[in-house]
Structure 1
Amino acid sequence: MRLSRIIMALTVGLAVVAVPTAAGAAQPQQPPPTTTATPQPPVYPPGTGAARLTVSDPTIFLGDTVDIIGDNFGPNERVVITVSYTPLAAGAQNARRSDGSAVAMTTVAAQPGTVERTIEAVTDGNGDFRVEEYKPSVTGRFILSAVGQESRRSDTASLRVLRKKQPALPVTGDSLGTPMKVGGGLLGAGAVMLLLSLAWRRRHRFGGGAAH
């Protein structure tokens, strides 16, 4: 009798415990929250990094050449380099009006960003290239923009092209002879006038003493 009551009590207890568990299992499950993916930068092959464009000399004179160097572009791809320039500022010049007054005038230059030329290069297996002896045709501030046609990697480099200074004209013997001749003539004329002046004073003095 006692054993049956104990079994019954255990059965009732297990049933009470099982009811909340079954109820929880029957409730619908909430979906996990969704997250918005953040755009990631392009992944470069190991050991390469971003593309880089440089020049062998950032400042040259018109008529000189410079090398264009590219690194870390796509391997064995065509790279297009667009060369644009902005002319250097021209110095102001003075012009005369009809009334004799002066007015400053400046030369109208080309528009900034004028394309001088387009250069194409092909990279090696490491994504590098070198364009040798590029020779600008005008003076100004240059911007070189390189874009890989397959990898779309890009970079820019700057270059300044100056006008060569004109050499000073040599001083020749003829250029010195003419001023010296003119100076000598003026000096001689001055000496003659000084002698004539002294002679006139002396003569006037002697003439005045005789009259007295």
Structure 2
Amino acid sequence: MLIQATDGDSLQVSRFTNAFAFTQFFGIFIAPWNGLILDRHRRRTISSASFTATAGSQKLADMESAVLSLAITVTLGILFSIFATIPVLQVQYLTFVLQVTTRCFLFGGASSFITIAFPACYFGKILGLTFAISACFTLLQYPCLALIQGPLQNHPLYLKIGLIVLVTLTYAHPINVYLHCRREMGKRGVVIPSQAEVSDLE
């Protein structure tokens, strides 16, 4: 993509590649943010909901706290995909930052959600399966490249738009988790005040 955007200018490609490599270092500063969001939202969920402190209720509170993290991760993925589509070189610096941020949120959030949603004895198996599926999808970059160089004649816009649409569809996951938590809390008689009431309590 950089070669195409720079018209084959190797010096510019090298500069942008170095900038991309440099931004990867900042992942160590970004990685804790997802955990902080999860913990803060969990405390608010528990303090704003009236329920008996059972293991099942705690798990529901944990799952609901993960919804915000999941939604932010999807949003970051969409923004990354959109900015990567813009054929302006200077915009790619922001794309690099979004790539690092999305990656941190994606892998950290996946581990956290597996811990919350499944029994601990299955953590290794499910995380391993997650990485295996991720690796399989990564292999799709080769047919995508062949598609760009072949039928699309080095104009990947339509493919990029298709990928943005696919990433957008992953909003189904946080929405599904949110609806599941509300449904289960309703069955257990958990009272969850509105956002206005939560603000008044704070």
TM bin (shorter chain)? under 0.3
Select the structure with the greater relative contact order (CA < 8 A; seq sep ≥ 6). 2
Name the TM-score, length of structure 1 as normaliser: 0.16
Q: Whose helix fraction is larger, Structure 1's or Structure 2's?
A: 2
Which structure has the larger Rg? 1
